[in-house]
Structure formats: C-alpha cells, structure tokens
Structure 1
Amino acid sequence: MILILGRPVVRSGAAEVRPGRRMARALLGMFALRANRVLGSEWIVDGLWPVRPPRSAAANVRSHVAELRRLLGPVGPRIETSGDGYVLLARPDDVDATLFGQLVAESHRHRDAGAAVAAADCLTHALGLWRGTVLEGVPVPEVVRSDAAVLDEARGCAAEELGDLRLALGQHHDLIPALTGLVIDYPLRERLWHQLMLALVRTGRRGEAMAVYRRLAALLDAELGVPPSAVTTELFTAIQREATC
C-alpha cells in the first residue's frame, strides 16, 4: 500500500519502506495523487524540476521509477510504462488517499440512509488514515499542489461532518480530545471551534467552552479582522447566561 497522508512510504505487511531519494519520494506522491492516470515524461520532469531541469532529467526519472518499482514489488500497485510516460495501476485500497475518498463517500451513503453510527465509523476510519500532512517532509510538486489542497480540504470537511455526527450521537466526552487537536490543525475552520464549545458545555465544562470562544475571537480578529459568526456568538451568549444563573 502506498501511504502519502503523512510521510510518503510503501507499506508491505507490517513493514514500511521510504524511497531513499527525495525526488523519488516526490515522484511517489505524484503517482499516488494521480493514480490510474498516465503521467507524461515531460510533465513529470516539470514537476520534479520546475525551474531548470538537468540534462539528465529523463534518465533520472527512469532511475526513480525503477527504484519505486523495486519498492512496490510484484504484488499490489504497480507502475507501468504507457506511451511516453507512466501510470500507477492501483485499486482504491492500494493508496491511502484514494481509500480516504472512498470511505468518505461511503459515509455519505450511510448518512443519507439515516445510519448515523455507520457513517461516523466510516469517517473515523477515513480520518485515521492521516498521519500528518500530504507528503509530509517532501515539498509538494507544483503540478499536484492543487490535488494535495483538495485532499486537505476534504480532510477538514470530513472532520466537521464527524463532529456533527458524534455530537448528535451523544459522544461528547470522546469528541473533545479530537476537536482540541483539530482546531490547532485547522484554526480558521470555525465550525470545529463551535463543535468544541458544544462538546464542552454538554459535559458541564462551561468555563472552558467560554475560553474556547475567546480564543477563537482573538484568532479571527488577528488573522482576518472579523468576529465569530452570529451562530457561534449566540452559543457563547447562551453559555455565559447559563453560567451566571
């Protein structure tokens, strides 16, 4: 399995192997982000050397591809030559990023069918695939930067959806640690802060909920020059009123 939702590695059983060269790690990410699509040789060169590719660029690409093929082995995802380029042939569960998308889609089907517990389980599994940022430790090539950004946005949306589901299921205590970390990872996603406030107040921790609001207000003022939304402010006012009664 190819893992790119964190440091890029190839997992085989319990073992994880990282490509030895930085360019090979970047190329692994390019293949994984564009699985089952042909990547032209020139496109790969532009991605790995966006400013001034060396004269040996084509030979270097072949060398990196050979290294990745050795790491992938004969079973599972494989890199095939296709015309003047290459394609990573992979099933959805061969790449963590693709599996993440599949699990999110499955959670939506469960949610639409009214199966909140199954939907939450799928999202928990999906978010558990993340070990860090996309291609952590490797500069994301410009040619796939938008793909990485879409994945990161999908992660934030999935986290918000899971928060709503778990709040509806009454899982407030279990939700607090996850949300405490998520507002650090996604400081400008106000919905996560709102969920954290709800989880805290529903577990009797009103003072902490109000402190969360004040942190959010200070952050939004410093970063965007705006106050929290009316919905979040109304929640804070309600908590404050209840705390003083």
Structure 2
Amino acid sequence: MMFRLLGSLEVYGPDGAPLRITQHKQRALLSLLLLTPGNWVSTDLIHSTLWVGNSPRNAFGSMKTYVSQLRRKLADANDPENRIESRAGGYRVFADRRELDVCLFEEAARRGRDALHDGDPGRAVEHLNAALELWRGDPFEELPVDVRQAETSKLEEQRWAVREDLLDAHVALGQHHVVIPTLRALTIEYPTREHLWCRLLVALCHSGRRAEALAAYQTAYRFLVNELGIEPGAELRQLHQQMLAGDEVTEPFRRDLRQIR
C-alpha cells in the first residue's frame, strides 16, 4: 500500500488504485496513527484530536466504529494484514517505511545529500528533485496544528535543507542561471536568511549580472537595517566588497550540511 501524508491524506491499495476515505474523523484518526506508525496511540489522545471541545456521550464507542471501518477499508484494498491493532487504552497502525511518502522523502533527501558529498551533483539533483516532488501541501493536513506541529516542523526543516542542497548541486554543475529564479523567490519569502542573499549575489555575478547583484545587495541591506535594525553579516559584506572592487566573486563560506534524521 501507499500512504501519502505530505499534503492531504491519500491512500492507495497494492494495485495502485486509490482507496476512498471520505469521512473526516476516519481521515483524522488514520493520520494520527500514521504520525507515529508502529507506536501505540492512547485513546485519550485520539479523543482529544477527534473532538475538540464538547464531545458526544458515545465518543469512545464512535472511536471503535471508526477503527472497524478503517480496518474494513484497508482489507478491501486486498491487503490481508490487520493494519490497525488494539489493546486496552490505545491503537497502533503498521506500515512499512516504503509505504510512507514521509519516509520516501527522507530517503531521497539522504541519497541526494550523500551524492552531493561524494562529488556527484548530477545524481544529487535527481534525488533531491524526487524528494521535493513528493510534497503536495502541508504535512498531516487532517490533524489539528498542535497535534502535528512537532512532526511538521521537523519535516519543514528537512525540506528546507533539501532546497539548499539542490541549490548547491546546481551551482556545483555551473548552472547559476537555474538557481537565480528560485533564489529571488526565496529571498522574498525568507528575507532574513542572509545565506540566501549570498547565494543570489554569487549566482548573479557568475551569470554576468553584476549590476543586478549590487541592486540585490542594496535590497538586502535596506531590509536588514530598516526592518531589523542590524547590519548585514560578514559574509554578505565580504561579497559586496568583492563586487565593488571588481574582484572574482566567490561564496565566502561553506555550509555544513545538516544530518537529516
């Protein structure tokens, strides 16, 4: 089977056919169990996730009904395993890492990072693009923000690291023109991340667009000074001095790629 959680919940049977789970509380329950597959989830947590505020008198009975319905739906997908196991006070769902798009994303990200470290940026681009293509929206969309926040924050950080690795891979291939549109968009979305401005300046200069690089520096400078009240950091200032002096512009730092666990 395949459980897609990097966006709204989607479930596919062993034959690749989509498995329709339309009832909201069933979708939320399955998403909650898949948040920590293989681990027990207490009925109290399930209750507070499915019913925020007032809950019906028969809430725990309804919970059992939702579990039974999910079991039947998963069995209808020609999967003989009992995917959802129960015990007093909790439930858990079993899923192989190969069945979860979250795990496939992490694996593709790892392969891309390893390829980049091994000096194979072309292969890195393939794996990193494959990792990003798995994202369709916010992870675990069916769950309340407070329930999914820890996991989604971790995934967003991993996604950010993949974006950075992909930029580095394109630069290593000499494809500065490829990263410029992405960097422009990212500096607008995340203007406080100075390393993005540094990459943009380097890419513009290596594309023969030094005047645009100088203009981009001024944009970064005005934002940092006017909005945050701080001067640009040493790396950004060094790049600016290289541009003004007409020197060859090189990225004045080397990012330590983070381990994605």
With normalisation by structure 2, the TM-score equals: 0.75
**CA–CA separation in structure 2 for the residues paired with 1:145 and 1:54:** 26
Q: 1:223 to 1:54 in 2, by over 3 A?
A: farther
- Partner residue, 1:44: 46
Q: 1:24 to 1:110 in 2, by over 3 A?
A: same
- Partner residue, 1:56: 58
Within a 5 Å distance, the mapping from 1:1-245 to structure 2 comes to 1-11=2-12, 19-49=21-51, 51-66=53-68, 68-69=70-71, 72=74, 73-75=77-79, 79-84=83-88, 85-136=90-141, 138=142, 140-221=144-225, 224-242=228-246
Flag the structure with larger Rg.
Answer: 2
Cα distance per residue 1:179-237 (max 9 Å; x no partner)? 33444554443323322332222222333333433443444456644333220232233
Q: 1:49 to 1:163 in 2, by over 3 A?
A: same
**CA–CA separation in structure 2 for the residues paired with 1:88 and 1:239:** 57
**CA–CA separation in structure 2 for the residues paired with 1:135 and 1:222:** 37
**CA–CA separation in structure 1 for the residues paired with 2:61 and 2:164:** 45
**CA–CA separation in structure 2 for the residues paired with 1:76 and 1:128:** 30
**CA–CA separation in structure 2 for the residues paired with 1:76 and 1:103:** 29
Per the TM alignment, residue 155 of structure 1 is displaced from its structure 2 partner at its CA by 0.8
Q: 1:96 to 1:242 in 2, by over 3 A?
A: same
Q: 1:36 to 1:19 in 2, by over 3 A?
A: same
**CA–CA separation in structure 2 for the residues paired with 1:223 and 1:21:** 46
Work out whether residues 32 and 143 of structure 2, in 8 Å CA contact, stay in contact via their aligned partners in 1.
no
SS of match in other structure, 1:132: coil
Cα distance per residue 1:25-51 (max 9 Å; x no partner)? 433432333122222222222333354
SS of match in other structure, 1:100: helix
Per the TM alignment, residue 152 of structure 1 is displaced from its structure 2 partner at its CA by 0.6
Q: Which runs of 5+ in 2 are unaligned?
A: 248-261
Q: Which runs of 5+ in 1 are unaligned?
A: none
Q: 1:75 to 1:220 in 2, by over 3 A?
A: farther
**CA–CA separation in structure 2 for the residues paired with 1:92 and 1:39:** 18
Greater shift, 76-85 or 204-213, is seen at 76-85
**CA–CA separation in structure 1 for the residues paired with 2:245 and 2:44:** 63
Work out whether residues 204 and 210 of structure 2, in 8 Å CA contact, stay in contact via their aligned partners in 1.
yes
Identity rate, percent: 33
Per the TM alignment, residue 148 of structure 1 is displaced from its structure 2 partner at its CA by 0.8
Amino acid at match of 1:174: V
Work out whether residues 67 and 84 of structure 2, in 8 Å CA contact, stay in contact via their aligned partners in 1.
no
Quote the RMSD (CA, aligned, Å): 3.2
SS of match in other structure, 2:83: strand
Work out whether residues 103 and 123 of structure 1, in 8 Å CA contact, stay in contact via their aligned partners in 2.
yes
SS of match in other structure, 1:192: helix
Greater shift, 152-161 or 170-179, is seen at 170-179
Amino acid at match of 1:81: E
- Equivalenced residue count is 242
With normalisation by structure 1, the TM-score equals: 0.79
